[in-house]
């Protein structure tokens, strides 16, 4: 294998794949990236045995085709350290690959490409297509913050994707809050309702890899794996083998008491309340009365804050407490200028929705302060 490439071009594709490689691996070769040069095309693959990212780069100069693997982090650091307009030459030798760049020369140890454990020959019979990658990114952005972290219930440490009648629904919950987003897709018919659960790392990597462009995102999946393809980028992940709880039971129904609040005002007031809230629980009281919301926070030193704002509310006086971080996560994910918070009583979960958009909803359990 021998080829030449611009530093900026190889850096761009390295940035796409290197994060999929863990710094500590069960197998040493998973600390490497797989280089495969066929014709004028370089295919670059990295993974950790659970997820895998593969992308392609067209090369202007190829002297010899071939395959090898190179240490991911070392190579990435080498390429980053070089000037942007540098022409780099990769020359595979017996046990090393020479990387030549101007007056600089690096000899990186290689491992046999035949030993690289690619996720391949996967059974993924179900296929859906998102109209654009930004719609898939939006779906993940608007729900992923509600995933659990190291919960013994493994399904909570991931994100549910449910497909039914031309609609994809993403749901995440940690048992204290829930986020849901819907997007239209092409593919599965009404008789092919399917559910899969993506692991936390897979969701984070997809959000990082997906852009705001209009290129379609093709998603295929089976019982154990899911594959996302956007342009020359292919992302593969193993799925969580578990049953996700019935999220519909968590969404409050028939709620009659609601208030409409301006997002920026509430966000700023919550940030101020966080300063005086309990360091451990980060709770804040929402005290609602005619056309007014008062936020009350107090910490263990009996220090407190009070913030008042005008809201659209005409119900009976109501006081309910929420986790500040949970509310801020919702406010930071929405695009609308206004949100509607709907309650049943001070002991029930609240339903949060954007006023002028209907593709997302959020459920937050109250706190006892």
Query: Pseudo-torsion of CA 60, 66, 67, 71, nearest 10°?
Result: -60
Tokens, residue 6: 């611009």
CA distance 58 to 12: 12
> Please, are residues 339 and 357 in contact by the beta-carbon 8 Å criterion?
no
Q: What is the mean pLDDT of residues 4-15?
A: 97
Length of the chain: 369
Residue 254, pLDDT above cutoff 70 = yes
101 - beta bridge partners? Answer: 88, 104
Residue 280, pLDDT above cutoff 90 = no
pLDDT computed for residue 191 by the predictor: 61
Residue 120, pLDDT above cutoff 90 = no
Main-chain phi, psi angles of 141, to 5 degrees: -60, -40
The full set of domains in the chain, from first to last, is: 2-115 (3.10.150.10), 126-249 (3.10.150.10), 257-364 (3.10.150.10)
332: helix, coil or strand?
helix
CA distance 76 to 291: 56
Residue 189, pLDDT above cutoff 70 = no
- For residue 156, the tally of other CB atoms under 10 A from its CB is 24
Residues 6+ apart with CB under 8 A from 186: 128, 129, 131, 166
> Please, are residues 282 and 323 in contact by the beta-carbon 8 Å criterion?
yes
């Amino acid at each position: 294998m021998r080829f030449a490439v611009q530093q900026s071009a190889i850096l761009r594709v390295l940035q796409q794949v290197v994060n999929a490689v863990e710094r500590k691996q069960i197998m040493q070769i998973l600390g490497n990236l797989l280089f495969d040069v066929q014709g004028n095309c370089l295919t670059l693959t990295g993974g950790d045995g659970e997820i895998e990212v593969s992308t392609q780069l067209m090369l202007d100069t190829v002297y010899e085709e071939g395959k090898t693997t190179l240490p991911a982090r070392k190579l990435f650091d080498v390429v980053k350290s070089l000037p942007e307009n540098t022409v780099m030459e990769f020359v595979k030798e017996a046990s090393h690959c020479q990387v030549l760049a101007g007056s600089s020369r690096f000899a990186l140890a290689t491992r046999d490409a035949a030993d690289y454990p690619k996720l391949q020959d996967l059974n993924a019979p179900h296929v859906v297509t998102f109209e654009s990658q930004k719609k898939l990114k939006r779906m993940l952005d608007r729900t992923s913050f509600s995933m659990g972290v190291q919960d013994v219930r493994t399904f909570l440490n991931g994100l549910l994707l449910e497909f039914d009648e031309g609609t994809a629904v993403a749901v995440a919950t940690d048992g204290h809050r829930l986020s849901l987003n819907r997007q239209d897709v092409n593919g599965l018919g009404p008789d092919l309702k399917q559910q899969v659960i993506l692991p936390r790392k897979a969701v984070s990597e997809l959000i990082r890899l997906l852009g705001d462009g209009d290129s379609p995102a093709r998603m295929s999946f089976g019982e154990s794996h899911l594959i996302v393809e956007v342009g020359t980028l292919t992302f593969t992940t193993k799925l969580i083998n578990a049953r996700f709880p019935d999220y519909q039971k968590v969404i409050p129904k028939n709620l009659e008491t609601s208030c409409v609040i301006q997002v920026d005002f509430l966000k700023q007031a919550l940030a101020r309340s966080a300063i005086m809230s309990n360091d451990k629980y980060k709770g804040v009281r929402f005290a609602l009365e005619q056309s007014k919301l008062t936020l009350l926070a107090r910490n263990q030193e009996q220090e407190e804050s009070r913030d008042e704002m005008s809201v659209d509310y005409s119900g009976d006086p109501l006081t309910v407490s929420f986790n500040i971080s949970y509310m801020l996560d919702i406010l930071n994910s929405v695009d609308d200028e206004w949100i509607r918070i709907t309650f049943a009583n001070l002991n029930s979960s609240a339903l949060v929705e954007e006023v002028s958009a209907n593709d997302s909803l959020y459920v937050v359990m109250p706190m006892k302060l």
